[in-house]
Structure 1
Amino acid sequence: MKNKQMESRLSDEVMQMIEGRKSLQLATLDADGQPYASYAPYGIGEHCLYVLLSDIAIHALNLRNHPRASVLIIEDEDTAEELFARKRVNYSVRAQLLDYGSEDWHQAMAALVSRHGERPRNLGEHSDFKMFRLIPQRGRYVKGFGKAYDLEGETLAGESLMHLRDGHKQRARA
Structure 2
Amino acid sequence: MIPDKTAPQTTARAARQLLRAHRYGALSTLSKKFNGHPFGSITPYLVDHDGSLLILISALAEHTKNILHDPRVSLITHNQEDPHIQTQGRITIVGTAALDAEREAAGKRYLRYFPEAQTYYDMADFQFFRIVPQALRYIGGFGDIHWIKAENYRTPANSLAAEEDALLGKINATRSAAQGLLIGIDCDGFDLRIDERTVRQDFPITVLDANQASGLLQP
2:193 matched residue in structure 1: none
Q: Which runs of 5+ in 1 are unaligned?
A: 1-5, 160-174
Provide the residue aligned with 1:148 in structure 2.
145
1:42-121 to 2 correspondence within 5 Å?
Answer: 42-45=45-48, 46-76=50-80, 79-80=81-82, 82-99=84-101, 104-117=102-115, 119-121=116-118
> Counterpart of 2:205?
none
1:27 maps onto 2:28 in alignment: yes
1:172 corresponds in structure 2 to none
Distance change >3 Å, CA 106–CA 155, structure 1 → 2: farther
Q: Is the 8 A contact 2:103 2:127 kept in 1?
A: no
Query: 2:130 aligned with 1:133, yes or no?
Result: yes
Equivalent residue number for residue 171 of structure 1: none
Residue 89 of structure 1: SS of its match in structure 2? Answer: strand
Give the % identical residues: 23
Scaled by the length of structure 2, what TM-score is found?
0.61
Seen in structure 2, the aligned counterparts of structure 1 residues 109 and 155 have a Cα distance that, compared at 3 Å, is farther
Partners of 1:88 and 1:114 in 2: how far apart?
25
Number of corresponding residues: 147
CA contact (8 A) 2:28 2:40 kept: yes
Determine if contact 1:152/1:158 at 8 Å carries over to the other structure.
Answer: no
Instruction: For residue 10 of structure 1, give the secondary structure of its aligned residue in structure 2.
Output: helix
CA RMSD of aligned residues (A): 2.2
- Give CA deviations for 1:81-105 in whole Å, capped at 9, x if unaligned: 6321221111111111123xxxx22
Aligned position for 2:173: none
Cα distance change on mapping 1:158 and 1:131 into 2, 3 Å? same
Q: Distance in 1 between matches of 2:154 and 2:95?
A: 13
- Runs of 4+ residues deviating >4 angstroms: 154-159
Shift of 1:155: 6.7
TM-score of the two chains, using structure 1 as the length reference: 0.75
Structure number with higher relative contact order (C-alpha < 8 Å, ≥ 6 residues apart) = 1
Contact residue 136 and residue 154 of structure 1 kept, 8 A: no
Secondary structure of residue in 2 paired with 1:56: coil
Once residues 129 and 105 of structure 1 are traced to their aligned partners in structure 2, the CA distance between those partners, rounded to angstroms, is 10
Partners of 2:98 and 2:91 in 1: CA distance: 21
Q: Secondary structure at the match of 1:114?
A: helix
The one-letter amino acid paired with 1:44 is V
CA distance in 2, matches of 1:109, 1:154: 27
User: Contact 1:88/1:143 (CA < 8 Å) preserved in 2?
Assistant: yes
Unaligned runs of 5+ in 2: 1-6, 157-219
CA distance in 2: counterparts of 1:75 and 1:33, whole angstroms: 29
1:10 aligns with 2:11: yes
Deviations 1:41-99 (A, max 9, x none): 112212300000012211111111111101111111xx326321221111111111123
